[in-house]
Structures are given as C-alpha cells and as structure tokens.
Amino acid sequence: MKLELGKIHIDDIQFGEELCVKNHTLFVNKQEIIDLVLEDDKIIDCKVELAKPGESTRITPVKDVIEPRVKVSGGGEIFPGVIGKVNPTVGSGRTHALDGACVITVGKIVGFQEGVIDMSGPAADYCPFSKTQNICVVVEPKDGLETHVYEKAARLAGLKVAAFIGKAGKDVEPDSIEVFETKPIFEQAAQYPDLPKIGYVHMLQSQGLLHDTFYYGVDAKQIVPTFMYPEEIMDGAIVSGNCVAPCDKVTTYHHFHNPVIEDLFKRHGKELNFMGVILTNENVFLADKERHSDMVAKLAEWMGLDGLLITEEGYGNPDTDLMMNCRKVANKDIKVAIITDEFPGKDGKSQSLADTCEEADAMISCGQGNAVLHFPAMDRIIGMTDYIENQIGGWSGCMNEDGSFDAELQIIIASTIANGFNKLAARGY
C-alpha cells in the first residue's frame, strides 16, 4: 500500500466569502459551516470562532481535534465508514492535508473528561494545538438529549466540517509531498532482510459509552485484534469518539499524525523494517483482556517480528491490557518497548501505573498528569468555563472569580501525549 501525503502549509485562517487557500491562508465561510452542522436536528445552535497562536484565548470543553484532509486520487474518501464509504483503496493514492489548520469541536460537557486548550500562557507549552490555526465549532445540543447521542452528534459535526474544509486543498499544489509504502507482509519482510523487523501495537480506548474509538465506522469494542497498514490510519480509518482524560486523549488529529508511526517510517529502510500495525482494543472484562492479548501475541509471532512498540490510550484499567500485551509478546521472544504516562498523585507517592509485569523492562514515559499548573485568566473564552471544577484535573473551588484557575495537567488536551512523544523522538527510539 502506497500513500502520497501532500502537505499544504497553513499560516493563517480568516473568514471569507469562499472556501479556499491563498498564499498559505485558509479562508472559510462561517455560514457554510453553520448550515452544514445544523443539518443535524440534534444540534439547535452552532457558533464558529477562530483561535490563533499567541492570543489570550481559552477553548473548553474540547471534544475532538481534526486536521482537514481530502482524497485527491486513488479512490476512497476521508473518514471511511463514517463520512465516506468504506473502500479497499483507503491508504493509497494521494491525500492532501491542510497542515497547521485544525477543526476543534466544543460545547456543553458530555462527561467529565473533556479538556482545555489555551492559545497562550503557561498551559500553551503543554498543548500542540496552541500552535495551530484553529476553527472552533461550538455546538448547542437539543434539550433532553442523552449524553451519548449528543456525543455522536458533536463527533459527526466535527468530522463533516473537517472533510468539507479539506476540499479547499484538493486542487492546491502541496508545499511538500511525503511518500509512505508498506508492502504485503512477506514482501515487506524480504525487502530489508538484514534489518530488524519492527511492529507497532496501537491500543484503542473503547470501553463503553463515551469511551469509544471507531475503526472504519465500527465501534472498536466490537472488533478483535487485526492487522492494519499504517497508511490506512493516515487516511482517516480511525476516528476518536471518546471522552477519556484530556491529557491522554488520542484525538482524530493524533490518529492522522501518530508519532510512533511517523518515527518508524523515518527509520524504515535505514535502521529497521517497519512491518505494520497490530490494532487492538482496551477491554473492561478480564476474559476480553485475556482473549485480545492472546491474539496480539499471535499476530506479532505470525509477522515474524524482532521488536514491538506498544502504546495505550487512557490509564488505570487499560494498564492491565498494556501489561498483558507486553508480557505475552515478550514471551514469544520479541523485544518490547511500551510507551505510557504516569499518575503518581499530587504528592508523587502513589503507584504510577495500575498494573505492571516483569517483562515491562523498557518503558518510555510520557510524563505525569497529576502536576498542578496555574491557568491565568484569558481575554476570550470559546465555549464555556462552567464545568472547569467538574472536568478531570479540576476540583471544587479551583476556579477563581477573575476566570483563572488551578488544575492538574491532565485537564489539558493531549498534554502528556504531545510531550511524551516528543521525548520519544528526542531519545532516538
């Protein structure tokens, strides 16, 4: 499977009459976006606001972040099984990305695990989306809507808007084109016979209502572990639909830009032979954890891997899935490195991971989410701060009258993901 990813660098966003890209500026028509979102009768109001790096702007509660992309050639559509049709050519041909632009869905809280993005100030250093040009879609659900119905409506709104805006880049010449190719398993193994064969286990958070991730439109808790070409993930085959702790949240943007996949491709054919992705779920029940980890180990053995990287989304209960996968793969004489964050409590005295095993002897830490940070007041709020004290990382009384508050780092969208994966790249893993 071969994918050409054309990146169109976006340095600014502005409202305009016509959706287009001119001189690295993305112009969007506010009313077109509103009309598109309001096609869903579960949403009764929609506001569209722009947020740029360095502004005194706070965005919360954030539901998802999505990079606008469009298929240019090769068949298939972005977000197959959700917005577009499922097609076997997903992950091939050419896709254009509006690099540096993001669609952010915002609105009344669904659960307590939706987070904050500050475009400036101390918290901006911990969040990758303080550096992007953001189109914020603030949705108002119909009264009496069940939380999971509201979540789905907000999720689809963001994906529809991102797919719509992505079309602005279809006929634009990219600033750069990257080529990614993964051959069928036996061909891939034969291509670089002298390099170690490395795989990646991508653990999806999908443990029930409001904790779901979608694989070709299918709730991941309904699947068993499977093989994926990494190019499929870059074409939107996996989308976020969960409300896990914001710092751990693998947004749809991060599925597009999975740092492990990107780093493995950089080393592919030079230091290692990147064989592909094993996709698995994080489960609730012990029997399911056992079943899925057995299958992960079986797939890793079938692929003939010499080494494997494993990441998890979330923490606590999923730590057991992580350790089961680690132990069973290692027992197949495959070297394993796990990537996770830590939650040692505010005083640093709690156990950082809820589970462990002897085989977990190579770990890359994404940092810890319990450290407390001061969030100064901002001049503009996109969304609402009504829920700060109820969002994970906040607490009763943490909000001040002037709009500032203190909270744990885990209230920031993708804080440990961003910093941990940056550490991963810096350390040369």
Which residues are identified as catalytic?
A: 243
CA–CA distance, 242 with 251 (Å, rounded to integer)? 9
Tokens of 337: 């490195």
Give the pairing of strands 101-107 and 25-28.
unpaired
CA–CA distance, 392 with 342 (Å, rounded to integer)? 15
Tokens of 103: 């669609």
In sequence order, the β-bridge partners of residue 139 are 46, 107
Q: Are 395 and 112 in contact (CB under 8 A)?
A: no
Q: Are 427 and 364 in contact (CB under 8 A)?
A: yes
